[in-house]
Structure 1
């Protein structure tokens, strides 16, 4: 049996710190909603601030989605000038980047304190192509000599109907109440 000279709680904290520093760079993605009252020409400086925060922490950009105005699934309430304000729209954008593990806490704190950002989500992801891939259906090869014909139709032959039969059918339909 191996004895640990430290209490279990202290050993776990030390192990977590060592493993976090040993891992190095990881891939993260930030999704954010910018205040809808922000003018479109003022969006780029807000995004540039987010990029600056990432670069300051040693991050490298992998992909980015420009902010676009979207209707939110639910309202987001924030305090502005001592009052609660509810928003049902926001400019949604995202940034995928690689950064050291030690950059996570400062980036999350900076996003929460930025007044232009209504809400953000920060998560670890994988390095892969971010564009959606569509698989097309295989095409059938058609040779020049092939003639494409439509399928033969089965024609329905209507039986002759007398006036008396029509009248009787109409009476049956209208009298069924």
Structure 2
């Protein structure tokens, strides 16, 4: 006899995660990650992308030819130095000139000299740039009271903003000549 097990309805986010396999990392996991990586890695994570040199900056040099006859170009992120962009290029002769076209691009991550890695530990969920930024900001403001931050944001005596609102706008000077 089969057991009747009723499944609870899932939230919209739960349904999306079931379909995509996307699970968001917890704030605690993000904080632990932020504590152990370098400022350069945090810059790339908070920005949500790596800084790779352009062709004009680095030139275009191929490191190998793959099994399909495509030229392979590798670029290292100039910020974190842990991400390597692997581009595959195809060269064709058209008329009297050769044209190159990038046909594929992927990212590889390597381990830093001190064992540092860019990616978060597996099984912890995906860390978004917003979560990284939130964690960095929370750590930078740790120990400060919300009241003190509000007071500092409003000005020393808290009236700067109010005075600016009450001051009448001066009419613009018109040159009659």
TM-score by length of 2: 0.20
TM-score by length of 1: 0.20
Larger RCO, structure (CA 8 Å, separation 6 or more) = 1
Structure whose alpha-carbon radius of gyration is higher: 1
